[in-house]
Structure formats: structure tokens, C-alpha cells
Structure 1
């Protein structure tokens, strides 16, 4: 049975924040705290998106009225899964238990 790297994206809302850098730091910190005891092996990064005009990579965060929406990328290695779908279910289960009420979407699955 192969191993997989599952990449999920999530949306994180931060209130009472002034700058985008603060919002990103707070989102990563809060996600890390919630994942730490149960799933400390999950890699947390800022989500990136491509600008449609200049094709440069941009942070996936926006601040409006002191409220931020930050896109995070969560990566997890899943060992000995039966298939890609099985690996996704395992990753969503582990991460979803720690990050209740946080939307998760599959971004990528790679066989290792």
C-alpha cells in the first residue's frame, strides 16, 4: 500500500486585525495551536494564489474592516493508504477533528 502527501486548503477568519501580515501570523498560530496535540505532524503554510494580470504569486489573504480571511494550506503525509480517496478521507478526518468548523478542500494528492 502506497504513501500519499495530501494537501488541503482551509479558510480562516480573523477579527480585529489591522494588517495582512498580522492576520497571516495569527491564522497560522491559531491553526497550529488547534492541531498541536492531535496532529502536530501537519505542515501549515499560507495559501498562495496567482494574480490573473501579472501571473505572480500572492498571499491568499484579504483584510476588510479589520476582519481578515486567510487561506491556509495544510499538508499531511498519509502512510499505507489503499487509494488516493482513502488518503484524502484519512487526512480530512485527522485534520477535521482538530479544526472543527473550518472548511477544508482538497488541493492536491501525490503518491510518495
Structure 2
């Protein structure tokens, strides 16, 4: 049994926004409310970043076209006592997916935690 840090990537669509800053604020609020409704306040919500294919610079993953925004979010949680990396991935997706129905979740990063790492969020099976 291992402990894992799982970072999920989620695209959030928001409507009636004028700027990318508005889209970010609405998306963070929307995701946080959904997680809190399911008592998942241990999931850390962060804005995603994209990389420019031309220059390689990083920028916030928020795009607005016609008052509809698409915001990339990272959702981070710890999964304890998982049998394998794949098991930790399934647990994380099931836990977060319970709150964010109809939002496709993709694993951005997953790594096994060392014994001395114990900061942040958790899910125990």
C-alpha cells in the first residue's frame, strides 16, 4: 500500500464573462463550491498553465471567446493506502468526479509520497 500525490487537470467552462480574469474568478468559485458541497475541502484548487508552442513561455490557461470562457484548473489531493499508481488515479478521479459531474478529468501528475512528506490534502481509502 502506498501514498500518492495526484494532480488532476480539469477544463471548466464559464458563461457571461468579459475577460480572462473574470473567467478565472468564476471558474475557481464554481469548482470550490462544487467541492465544498461534497465536503471535499481538502482538494487544492489551482489555475492551470499552458505553454506557448512558439516561444515556450507559460501563461494562464484561461481563454474567452464570445463571453464564454474555458479555464484549465489543477486539482491536487493525496491518496493514502492505494495499491498501485493506477489505483490511486481511479480513487482520485472517483472522489473529485463525485463533485464535478460531466467534467472530464485527466491525470496531470502522479507521484508516490515519501514518508517525510505530509503537507497538503488527503484521501484515505
The answer to which of 83-92 and 36-45 deviates more is 36-45
Structure 1's consecutive aligned runs of 4 or more residues displaced over 3 angstroms after TM superposition are: none
Q: 1:38–1:98: 8 Å Cα contact kept in structure 2?
A: no
Structure 2 CA distance for aligned equivalents of residues 65 and 13 of structure 1 = 12
Pairwise mapping of residues 1-80 of structure 1 onto structure 2 (< 5 A)? 1-36=1-36, 37-80=38-81
1:109 corresponds in structure 2 to 110
Distance of 2:92 and 2:40 partners within structure 1: 10
Tell me the SS of whatever aligns to 1:3.
Answer: strand
Q: TM-score, normalised by structure 1?
A: 0.96
Q: Secondary structure at the match of 2:39?
A: helix
Report the TM-score, using the length of structure 2 for normalisation: 0.86
SS of corresponding position for 1:18: coil
Which has the larger share of helix? 1
Query: Which runs of no fewer than 5 residues in structure 1 stay unpaired?
Result: none
How far apart in 2 are the matches of 1:52 and 1:4? 31
What is the CA-CA distance between 1:38 and the residue it aligns to?
2.3
Distance 1:83 1:57 in 2: 32
Distance 1:56 1:93 in 2: 33
1:100 shift after superposition: 0.6
How much is the aligned-residue C-alpha RMSD, in angstroms?
Answer: 0.8
Structure 2: which 5+ runs fail to align? 114-125
